[in-house]
């Protein structure tokens, strides 16, 4: 696989079949689909891969029980089918999870309606059900979740869905596309479109790491920039009306033992009746999400104090013994949903999660809306539209749909992890570390073990409050397209949202290991190793890419990396 910078100069040397703008899950899915068809395809991303909405989701691969309330049967049906596909092709990253849904007297969704909804959810998953949903009385539900508020409890339900590591799913999807011949570069921002004869034939890209500028030409340009799609569309046609209605959503991370739950919980907030989740994540839990119309630029999204308080109040009302306070919050994250603009009077929570694919006045294809869960279908439809614009003989060559639903993503070649667990224990790793590795790297855990065999020092944890070890840093730098310390901390290893300091204590170790892999000089290592403390505002040079929505994540300003 060529280096990312080499990939960018390679993209600029020839005309591609397709160029994808945006390295979130949508763009990654398109790259993979197109590359598997044999098309020459490139992708440019202005930040790190997955640094936009695709690393800020609720991390659910789900049909979306709550969308049944809005009669979105088709969306739920399709998403449940995709859930089955993703459980198959990425069993290490996408894993079944059990949800408990308590029903309380006076809830907006009464018990009978919950029972009907769960039954329908089970039916819509035909063939791909993890297990059938069930209803329980009050006593039964309290056996499942003893910490739930007893007052007013009428029983509830249990169902299954899937949880995934969103950022790692993006990276794995991209890597699969690269092994099929696709090319991708991160920190490469599209600053303008190239038009000839009234048709978009390429883009101007600014390499934010080197300062270089390049023109990349392609027979079809695809705008997969999530919440930024309208900004890109206005480069093509300044007067075009918005396709999207943006809505922000925040999560808070707390130690799981503060809530004491075993399962994931779906509940209606006693504050305002909205459907919310409490989700287990190792020894942590995250609570989310909010849904607020958002009119600023997507990179400005953060979890506000008001949102944090609302999420904690909602969780405290459900788990009255928890008494969660702001001091319990380890981290927060917030993202911007790229929702299709519908009727302005519809609340953001009721706006459809469907997607739309449109061709602009100069031929650029935009894919808007959708969900993490349905990315594979969105990608297939987008590539099909791009093919319809190619000359018939060229399009015919690539029309056959590739097996994106069967070919495993990297690390997903087997769902049987026992041999990897045993090898890890034999190497002297603690059981919790082994479990962590297997659920992140799947079959590629073998490569992590090889690194440890070569250098036993890589067994060491890189942060005092986290299980991540040095070998992971080497692994993600070599194989997972990380080029900066924050790429590793925030999106490959998730220290940014799993430690109270945003992973900063690990930065020196991560910088040293990355420096060794990437040939950084001492100055660069020192700058990467010292991100400013969380919340420090620094002046931004015009082109610096920052994603403060990951509010405790590192801020690379001053690192001189670009
Ligand atoms: P993004 O991930 O935002 O990717 C677009 C990329 O384009 C960005 O990385 C950006 O940097 C890049 N870009 C922008 N402009 C340029 C430019 N000029 N040049 C180059 N690159 C550019 N879905 C689910 O299925 N399950 C869930 O549990 C779930 N929970 C969610 C919770 C929240 C709070 C939110 C906000 C969303 C959630 N979603 C969920 C929805 C899902 O996360 C999104 O639909 C999906 O991640 C969007 O992916 P994307 O690739 O379209 O956009």
pTM: 0.93
Mutation to probe ligand 1, out of 29, 228, 381 (largest number of atoms < 8 A from CB): 228
The CA 33 to ligand 1 mean position distance, Å, reads 18
In a shared domain, residues 182 and 207 = yes
Mutation to probe ligand 1, out of 26, 52, 190 (largest number of atoms < 8 A from CB): 52
Where in the sequence is the domain holding 455, given as residue range(s)?
A: 418-551
- 87, part of any domain: no
The CA 222 to ligand 1 mean position distance, Å, reads 15
In a shared domain, residues 442 and 503 = yes
Total tally of structural domains belonging to the chain: 3
Structure tokens at 339: 């929702």
In a shared domain, residues 457 and 485 = yes
* CA-closest candidate to residue 55, choices 31, 81, 78, 23: 23
Q: Which atom of ligand 1 is nearest to the CA of 338?
A: 45
**Cα distance between residue 26 and residue 478, in whole Å:** 24
The CA 77 to ligand 1 mean position distance, Å, reads 22
Q: Which residues does 59 contact at the CB level (< 8 Å), separation at least 6?
A: 163, 164, 165, 166, 279, 281
Residue nearest to atom 45 of ligand 1 (CA): 371
DSSP element (H, E) containing 161: strand 153-164
* Listed residues 337, 364, 398: the one ending a domain: 398
- One pLDDT digit (tens) per residue for the chain, 562 residues: 556 667 777 777 889 999 999 999 999 999 999 999 999 999 999 999 999 999 999 999 998 887 777 777 888 889 999 999 999 999 999 999 999 999 999 888 889 989 998 988 888 887 677 778 999 999 999 999 999 999 999 999 999 999 999 999 999 999 999 999 999 999 999 999 999 999 999 999 999 988 999 999 999 999 999 999 999 999 999 999 999 999 999 999 999 999 999 999 999 999 998 999 999 999 999 999 999 999 999 999 999 999 999 999 999 999 999 999 999 999 999 999 999 987 666 666 666 678 999 999 999 999 999 999 999 999 999 999 999 988 888 788 887 889 999 999 999 999 999 999 999 999 999 999 999 999 999 999 999 999 999 999 999 999 999 999 999 999 999 999 999 999 999 999 999 999 999 999 999 999 999 999 999 999 999 999 986 443 333 333 323 333 333 332 232 332 222 1
Q: Which atom of ligand 1 is nearest to the CA of 51?
A: 9
The pocket around ligand 1, CB under 6 angstroms, is made up of 21-27, 44-47, 51-54, 56-60, 189-190, 224-228, 249, 289, 335-338, 370-373
In a shared domain, residues 372 and 503 = no
SS (H, E, C) 243-263: CEEEEEEEEEEEEHHHHCCCC
**Cα distance between residue 73 and residue 65, in whole Å:** 10
* Listed residues 365, 398, 431: the one ending a domain: 398
Q: What angle do CA 515, 472, 534 make, to 5 degrees?
A: 70
* CA-closest candidate to residue 387, choices 37, 91, 12: 37
| Contact between residue 443 and residue 414 where contact means Cβ atoms under 8 Å apart | yes
Residue nearest to atom 9 of ligand 1 (CA): 52
Q: What is the CATH number of the domain that holds 151?
A: 3.30.9.10
| Contact between residue 553 and residue 51 where contact means Cβ atoms under 8 Å apart | no
* CA-closest candidate to residue 553, choices 55, 169, 54, 189: 55
- 137, part of any domain: yes
SS (H, E, C) 20-57: EECCCHHHHHHHHHHHHHCCCEEEECCCCCCCCHHHCC
**Cα distance between residue 234 and residue 514, in whole Å:** 38
**Cα distance between residue 253 and residue 176, in whole Å:** 31
Q: What is the CATH number of the domain that holds 213?
A: 3.50.50.60
Mutation to probe ligand 1, out of 26, 57, 290 (largest number of atoms < 8 A from CB): 57
Q: Which atom of ligand 1 is nearest to the CA of 44?
A: 20
In a shared domain, residues 275 and 332 = yes
Q: What is the CATH number of the domain that holds 490?
A: 1.10.8
In a shared domain, residues 486 and 538 = yes
| pLDDT on residue 33 | 98
Q: Which residues does 368 contact at the CB level (< 8 Å), separation at least 6?
A: 229, 243, 244, 338, 340, 355, 356, 357, 358
The CA 228 to ligand 1 mean position distance, Å, reads 9
In a shared domain, residues 473 and 532 = yes
- 406, part of any domain: no
The CA 54 to ligand 1 mean position distance, Å, reads 4
- 562, part of any domain: no
Burial code (b: 16+ CB inside 10 Å, e: under 16) for 136-173 equals: beeeebbebbebbbeeebbbbbbbbbbbbbbbbbbbbb
In a shared domain, residues 423 and 455 = yes
Mutation to probe ligand 1, out of 55, 348, 372, 547 (largest number of atoms < 8 A from CB): 372
| Contact between residue 158 and residue 100 where contact means Cβ atoms under 8 Å apart | yes
* Listed residues 307, 330, 346: the one ending a domain: 346
Give me Rg for the CA atoms of the chain. 23
In a shared domain, residues 288 and 209 = no
Structure tokens at 403: 């097996």
| pLDDT on residue 3 | 60
């Amino acid at each position: 696989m060529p280096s990312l910078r080499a990939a960018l100069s390679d993209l600029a040397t020839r005309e591609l079949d397709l160029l994808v703008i945006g390295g979130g899950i949508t763009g990654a899915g398109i790259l993979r689909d197109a590359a598997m068809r044999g098309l020459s395809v490139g992708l440019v991303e202005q930040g790190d891969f997955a640094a936009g909405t695709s690393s800020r989701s609720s991390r659910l691969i789900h049909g979306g029980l709550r969308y049944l309330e809005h009669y979105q049967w088709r969306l739920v049906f399709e998403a449940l089918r995709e859930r089955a596909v993703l459980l198959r092709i990425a069993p290490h990253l996408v894993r079944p999870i059990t949800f408990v849904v308590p029903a309380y007297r006076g809830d907006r969704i009464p018990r009978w309606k919950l029972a009907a909804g769960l039954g329908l959810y089970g039916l819509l998953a035909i063939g791909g059900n993890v297990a059938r949903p069930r209803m329980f009385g009050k006593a039964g539900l309290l056996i499942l979740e003893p910490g739930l508020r007893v007052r007013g409890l009428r029983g509830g339900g249990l169902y299954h869905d899937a949880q995934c590591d969103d950022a790692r799913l993006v990276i794995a999807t991209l890597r699969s596309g690269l092994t099929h011949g696709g090319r991708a570069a991160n920190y490469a921002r599209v600053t303008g479109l190239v038009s000839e004869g009234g048709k978009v034939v390429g883009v101007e890209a600014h390499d934010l790491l080197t300062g270089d500028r390049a023109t990349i030409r392609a027979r079809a340009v695809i705008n997969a920039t999530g919440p930024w799609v309208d900004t890109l569309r206005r480069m093509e046609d300044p007067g075009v009306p918005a396709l999207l209605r943006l809505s922000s959503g925040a999560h808070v991370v707390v130690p799981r033992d503060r809530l004491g739950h075993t399962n994931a919980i779906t509940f209606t907030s006693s504050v305002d009746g909205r459907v919310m989740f409490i989700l287990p994540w190792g020894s942590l839990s995250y609570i989310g999400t909010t849904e607020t119309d958002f009119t600023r630029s997507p990179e400005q999204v953060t979890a506000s104090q008001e949102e944090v308080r609302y999420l904690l109040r909602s969780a405290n009302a459900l788990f009255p013994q928890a008494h969660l306070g702001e001091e319990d919050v380890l981290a927060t994250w917030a993202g911007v949903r790229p929702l299709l603009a519908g009727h302005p009077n519809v609340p953001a929570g009721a706006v459809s999660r469907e997607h739309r694919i449109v061709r602009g006045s100069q031929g650029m294809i935009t894919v808007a809306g959708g969900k993490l869960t349905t990315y594979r279908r969105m990608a297939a439809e987008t590539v099909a539209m791009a093919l319809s614009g190619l000359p018939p003989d060229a399009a015919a060559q690539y029309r056959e749909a590739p097996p994106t639903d069967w070919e495993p993503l990297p690390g997903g070649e087997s769902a049987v992890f026992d041999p990897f667990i045993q090898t890890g224990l034999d190497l002297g790793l603690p059981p919790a570390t082994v479990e962590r590795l297997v659920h992140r790297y799947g079959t590629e855990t073998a490569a992590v073990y090889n690194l440890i065999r070569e250098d036993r020092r890589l067994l060491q944890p890189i942060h005092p409050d986290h299980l991540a070890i040095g070998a992971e840093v080497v692994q993600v730098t070599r194989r997972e397209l990380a080029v900066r310390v924050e790429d590793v901390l925030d999106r490959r290893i998730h220290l940014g949202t799993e430690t109270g300091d945003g992973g900063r204590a690990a930065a020196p170790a991560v910088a040293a290991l990355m420096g060794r892999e990437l040939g950084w000089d001492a100055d660069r290592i020192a700058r990467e190793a010292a991100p400013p403390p969380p919340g420090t505002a620094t002046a931004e040079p015009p082109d610096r890419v920052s994603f403060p929505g990951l509010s405790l994540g590192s801020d690379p300003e001053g690192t001189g990396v670009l």
